[in-house]
Amino acid sequence: MKRLYKFLSLVFVCSGIVFYSCETTNLNLTKNPNALTPSQADADFLLNGIQVNFGRLVEDLGERGAQLTRIDYMSGRDYPGVYSPSGFDTDWRRAYQGVLNNIRAMQPIATNASLTKHLGMAQFIEAYTMVSLVDFFGDVPYTEAVTGINNLNPKADSGASIYDAALGLLDQAIANFNAPALGTPQIDFFYAGDFGKWIKAANSLKMKIYMQRRLVDANAIASFNAIVSSGNFISNTADDMDFHWAKSDANPDARHPRYAADYTTSGANNYESNWLMGYMDRNNDPRIRYYFYRQVDGMPGQLDVNGNPVPPDEQTSQCSLTPTPQHYLAGGFTFCGLPDGYWGRDHGDDDGIPPDGFLRTVVGVYPAAGEFDDDSFANRQVNPGNGGGGAGITPIMLASTSHFLLAEVAMVAGDMSTAKSHMAMGIDESIKKVQAFGSGLDPDADPTFEPSALAIASFKTAMGDAFDNAATTDDKWNVLAQQFFVSLFGNGIDAYNFYRRTGYPTTLQPNIEPNPGTFIRSNWYPAAYANTNSNATQKSGVSVQVFWDTNPPSPGFPLSN
């Protein structure tokens, strides 16, 4: 027995050394040392995160909208297959987890600390986010959303009710912007702390909401006009709402995503849209050198800048050797290439990717802060750091858009002259905005290539004439719509909505595929929603229309697909 005690004391001593402070027997190790706890949250830091997530979300949805409306190039011959459900997972996550849930985390802190500006910005962002989700997907969760463990399968709300809620949020936002605050946000990526501009933005967003639902809301135009008459909306480019990107290329990569994709060591990754480049080139649009940077002076199978033909080249442009499809011939659309070195792709073209990264036309100084096109061509091929280094913008609410919406109101009312004058103002604001991105941003560019006042004036005259000379109301709509689309380069959300709302323009380059399936009237629900939420059912197809779209079903509407 004595020896047993000896043994036990030996065991005791041994384990005493290693059981030190009961380290190995402590059963209360539930706290995660690798993160903060929610109680340590900071309203400024949360709002910073909300803004960055919102900026990325709008840029992403803006690219999708632009691709569908030929402002950007879209790859895919089959509309239902162009964007797979999982392709929208990131946006869905950003909207709900990145934006909405963080807003919910910030609200009690901001409310307790009387941070009204924080709350107002959050309400604006929430309204814009929810409205955009409705525009892209239709009915989506809102009232049951972001309640965490209380509801793991939030039900969708009707798009119409979300629109109503957004208007309410914007009224609260305006009230908050007007209210005194105990502190202002650390960073305001949009207006640098100018809350007068935030109020204008909130009113402009209300105008946009009314306009979007004008087909289903008899009072929409009256509500729209009420704001117009207050005058407190974005009517001048100086008040435009943009998200600002920065130059840092890594850790963090804060560059404009389109810049990051195109200004790489192996050349561009995106194609630009042949429809938009061709339309702007034909009309001598003064914005074209800001929007697009050409890396070569001629494309295979086309005339170069000097009017000399460039031989077709199967290696760099496979389609330069293939015949024009019948439906392109019949509609008189450009096929495969454009003159003057504008090297893009046709809508829907899904050919393999040739090694043309240093040949194709890339996004220019507006809005991505790339290079200004000064006819340098191959001398200034894309490379990281070139041009404005990617410290560009994602336009969100523009003065030009306000004018184009006013023009739309006039068109609907049959008031052609008001429509024309708002179109002209829209063009004017857009050119003003774009011109601010010239050689100031791209220090290597030759500023003499910036358009002269005369060139701008003659362009504006030409557009006015085109509107006046248009034979039919449809043609006038087309002039207006095409100019609206040009002004929306950088964010196609409003273009996608306008296109489904009005059906114009009818002159867009159709899909290279003669039977591309029905146009995307709303997108597939993201896989992250349809596959994991038991109250979600994937929609029957992309032909499902959102609540404000009472136009005829696809195909047949919109026309140019």
Partner 1 sequence: MKTKFSGFLALLLAFMMQITFAQEKTVSGTVSDDSGPLPGVSVVIKGTTHGTETDFDGKYSIKANVGAILQFSYVGMETQEKTVGQSNTINVTLKASANVLEEVVVTAQGIKKSKKALGYAVSTVKSDQIQERASGDVARVLSGKTSGVQINATSGMSGSGTNIIIRGYSSFSQSNQPLFIVDGVPFDSGTNTPDDFVNGNSGSSRFLDLDPNSIASISVLKGLAAATLYGSQGRNGVILITTKDGLTGNVPKKTEVNVTQSFFFNEIASMPDYQNEFGNGFDQAFGWFFSNWGPSFKKDGVAGWGNSINPDPTKGFNPDGTLAHPYWTASAATGIPAAFPQFQGARYKWKPYNSVPNFFRIGTIASTSVNIRGASSDGNVSYNMNYGNHDEKGFTPGNTLRRTNLGMGGRAILSNRFTVNGTINFARTDFKTPPVAASTGNDVFGTGSSVFGALFFTPRSVDLTGLPFQNPVTGGSVYYRQNNSIQNPNWTVHNAQFSQFTNRVFGSFATKYDINDNLNLTYRLGLDFTNEHNTNYQNKGGISDFQETVSGFYRTWDNNNTIWDHTIMLNGNYKLNDDMNISFNTGVTSRSEIFDRQGVNSSGQNVFGVLRHFNFNTQTPIQFSSTRNILGALGQVQWDFKNYLFVTAAGRNDWVSNLSTDNRSLFYPSASASFIPTTAIDGLKSDKFLNYLKIRAGYGTSAGFPTGFPIASTLNLNTRAFQDDAGVNTVTNTTGTTLANPNLKPEQVKEFEVGIEARMFKNRANLQLSAYTRKTTDLIVNRPLDPSTGFTQTQTNIGEIHGEGIEADLGVDIFKAKDANAVGWNTHFNFTANESTVRRLGQGTDIIVFAGFSNLGNAAKVGQPLGVMVGSRIKRDAQGNALVNASGNYVEEFGTFNIGDPNPDWILNTTNTVTYKNFNFSFLFNWTHGGDIYSSTISTLLGRGLITETVDRLNTFILPGVQQSTGQPNDVQINNSSYYFSNILFGPNELQVYDGSVLRLQEVSLGYTLPKKMLEKTPFGSLTFTASGYNLWYDAYNTPKGANFDPNVIGTGVGNGRGFDYLNGPSSKRYGFSIKASF
**Which residues, numbered 293-322, are part of the site for partner 1 (CB under 8 A)?**
295, 313-316, 318
Site residues for partner 1, 43-82, by CB under 8 A, read 45-46, 48-49, 52-53, 77-78, 81
Please list, residue by residue across 284-298, b when 16 or more beta carbons sit within 10 angstroms of its beta carbon and e when fewer do.
ebbbbbbbbbbbbbb
536 forms part of the interface with partner 1 (CB under 8 A):
yes
Q: Which stretch binds partner 1 (CB under 8 A): 330-338, 368-376, 480-488, 513-521?
A: 513-521
Exposure letters 397-410 (e unless 16+ CB within 10 A, then b): bbbbbbbbbbbbbb
Report the distance separating Cα 4 and Cα 7, nearest Å: 5
Window 103-142: residues binding partner 1 (CB under 8 A): 104-105, 140-141
Residue pair 373/294 in contact by the 8 Å Cβ criterion:
yes
Element containing residue 306 per DSSP (H, E): none
Cβ at position 412, least distance to partner 1 in Å: 35
Strand-pairing partners, residue 395, are: 242
* Nearest approach, Cβ of residue 205 and partner 1 (Å): 22
- Interacting positions 166-205 with partner 1 (CB under 8 A): 187, 189, 192
Contact between 165 and partner 1 (CB under 8 A)? Answer: no
Distance, in Å, from the CA atom of 135 to the CA atom of 132, rounded to the nearest integer, reads: 5
Q: Is 13 in the site for partner 1 (CB under 8 A)?
A: no
Contact call for residue 552 and partner 1 (CB under 8 A): no
The least distance separating partner 1 from the CB of residue 402, rounded to whole angstroms, comes to 25
Q: What is the nearest approach in angstroms of partner 1 to the Cβ of residue 29?
A: 4
Q: Which is nearer to partner 1, 86 or 439 (CB)?
A: 86
Subset of residues 348 to 387 that bind partner 1, contact rule: CB under 8 A: 352, 354-359, 378, 381-384
Pairing of strands 156-157, 140-141: antiparallel
Q: Cα separation of 343 and 337, whole Å?
A: 6
Residue in 16, 193, 253, 444 binding partner 1, rule: CB under 8 A: 253
Q: Minimum CB separation from partner 1 for residue 441, in Å?
A: 13
- Rounded distance, CA 114 to CA 121, Å? 14
Compute the distance between CA of residue 263 and CA of residue 41 in angstroms, rounded to an integer: 37
Q: Is 272 left (phi over 0), alpha (psi -120 to 50) or beta?
A: beta
Beta bridge pairs of residue 397: 241
Identify whether the C-beta of residue 297 lies closer than 8 Å to the C-beta of residue 381: no
Whichever of 8 and 462 has its CB closer to partner 1, that residue is 8
Q: Is 444 in the site for partner 1 (CB under 8 A)?
A: no
d(CA 366, CA 372): 8
Beta carbon of residue 531, minimum distance to partner 1 (angstroms, whole number): 6
Q: Which parts of 283-415 fold into alpha helices (H)? A: 288-291, 326-331, 399-413
Gap between the Cα atoms of 498 and 215, Å rounded: 12
Q: How many whole angstroms separate alpha carbon 79 and alpha carbon 498?
A: 19
202-210, 239-247, 397-405, 494-502 -> range binding partner 1 (CB under 8 A): 239-247
Which residue number, 377 or 475, has a Cβ lying nearer to partner 1?
377
Distance CA 141, CA 97 (A): 13
324 lies in the binding site for partner 1 (CB under 8 A): no
* Least Å from the CB of residue 356 to partner 1: 7
The answer to whether the CB of 356 falls within 8 A of the CB of 319 is: no
Assess 515 for contact with partner 1 (CB under 8 A).
yes
| Listed ranges 29-37, 411-419, 430-438, 447-455: which one lies at the site for partner 1 (CB under 8 A) | 29-37
HEC per residue, 40-62: HCCHHHHHHHHHHHHHHHHHHHH
Q: Which residue has the tokens 């049959």?
A: 414
| Residue placing its CB nearer to partner 1 in the complex, 17 or 454 | 17
Residue placing its CB nearer to partner 1 in the complex, 216 or 246: 246
Residues 475-504 interacting with partner 1 (rule: CB under 8 A): none
| Nearest residue to 128 via CA among 91, 95, 87 | 95
Sign of CA dihedral 159, 161, 547, 61: negative
513 makes contact with partner 1 (CB under 8 A): yes
Task: Kindly indicate which of the ranges 232-240, 263-271, 399-407, 480-488 contains the residues binding partner 1, using the contact rule CB under 8 A.
Answer: 263-271
To partner 1, the closest distance from the beta carbon of 486 in angstroms equals: 27
Tokens of 206: 């209300």
Q: Is 239 in the site for partner 1 (CB under 8 A)?
A: no
Which residue from 9, 16, 36, 309 is in contact with partner 1, where contact means CB under 8 A? 36
405's CB contacts (< 8 A; 6+ apart) are 207, 208, 211, 224
Q: Contact region for partner 1 (CB under 8 A) — 102-110, 227-235, 398-406, 495-503?
A: 102-110
**Could you say whether residue 432 binds partner 1 (CB under 8 A)?**
no
CB of residue 129 vs partner 1: minimum separation in angstroms?
12
